[in-house]
Amino acid sequence: MKKNNQRHAYNALINIFAFPGLGSLRSGRKLEGTFQMMLVLAGSALLLLWLYKIMSQYYGMIFSDVKPQAVGWIGITGGVIFGIGWAWACLTSLFLFREASQPEPIPPLIPTMKTKTPADKKIETALASLPDWQRNDQVISRTYEFEDFVVAMKFVNVVAALAEQAQHHPDIDVRWNKVTLALTTHDAGGLTEKDFALARDCDAQAQSLRR
């Protein structure tokens, strides 16, 4: 049983066998615990008052001519009030025992930060030299914008020639004067130096076409 469950069970036992209401207060049930303790204390006070009057009448009858008075109602009232407070505390204890028997929820695992591998560090270093390129997992991409469609197509033809020469082919998307290239090395299952080398060559060609 976990520590929190043990606390609930201990407080339930206090309610039943020690001081009704105190266990409820210790469990955070302030309103219930306060009223339970008030009922128990009020009932106890009436029972003590009843006992005092009974003993006073008893000794009065022995040592003097004292007529007995009906004080039984005080004891009955005190007993009923005390019983209500104790029964209420017992009912709360049942809920505490139920909570104690429930398994505590397992806290979610906190994901650990992935340690960067030497390959990741190389990729970051290479990407830092290509500030216009964006990385999305194992793909780097960049969108070039040219004067018009004709210049954009000239750039596409240049990229095609470079790709054939390097035997490394990017994904190409043409939108009038905009050309988007996406690079990854499928055979290696991720980014390699081939991608960054071709990206540098494409940047150089795009710069020459804009002059």
Q: From the options 3.20.20.120, 3.40.50.2300, 1.10.10.350, 3.30.1360.20, give the CATH code of 118-210.
A: 3.30.1360.20
Max intra-chain CA distance, the chain: 129
In the predicted structure, residue 70 carries a pLDDT above the cut 80: yes
With helix as H, strand as E and coil as C, how does the chain read? Answer: CCHHHHHHHHHHHHHHHHCCCHHHHHCCCHHHHHHHHHHHHHHHHHHHHHHHHHHHHHHHHHHCCCCCCCCHHHHHHHHHHHHHHHHHHHHHHHHHHHHHHCCCCCCCCCCCCCCCCHHHHHHHHHHHCCCCCEEECCEEEEEEECCCHHHHHHHHHHHHHHHHHHCCCCEEEEECCEEEEEECECCCCECCHHHHHHHHHHHHHHHHHHC
The residue that leads in pLDDT, 129 or 106, is: 129
Percent above pLDDT 70 for the chain: 89
**pLDDT digits 0-9 by tens, 151-201:** 999 999 999 999 999 899 999 999 999 999 999 998 888 899 999 999 999
In the predicted structure, residue 76 carries a pLDDT above the cut 60: yes
In the predicted structure, residue 115 carries a pLDDT above the cut 80: no
Give backbone dihedrals phi and psi of 181, rounded to 5 degrees, phi first.
-110, 140
* pLDDT at residue number 1: 45
Predicted TM-score (pTM) of this structure? 0.46
Mean pLDDT of the chain: 86
Give backbone dihedrals phi and psi of 142, rounded to 5 degrees, phi first.
-150, 145
**pLDDT digits 0-9 by tens, 15-32:** 888 899 898 888 888 999
Say how many C-beta atoms besides its own lie within 10 A of residue 51's C-beta: 14
In the predicted structure, residue 111 carries a pLDDT above the cut 70: no
Contact 123, 153 (CB under 8 A): no
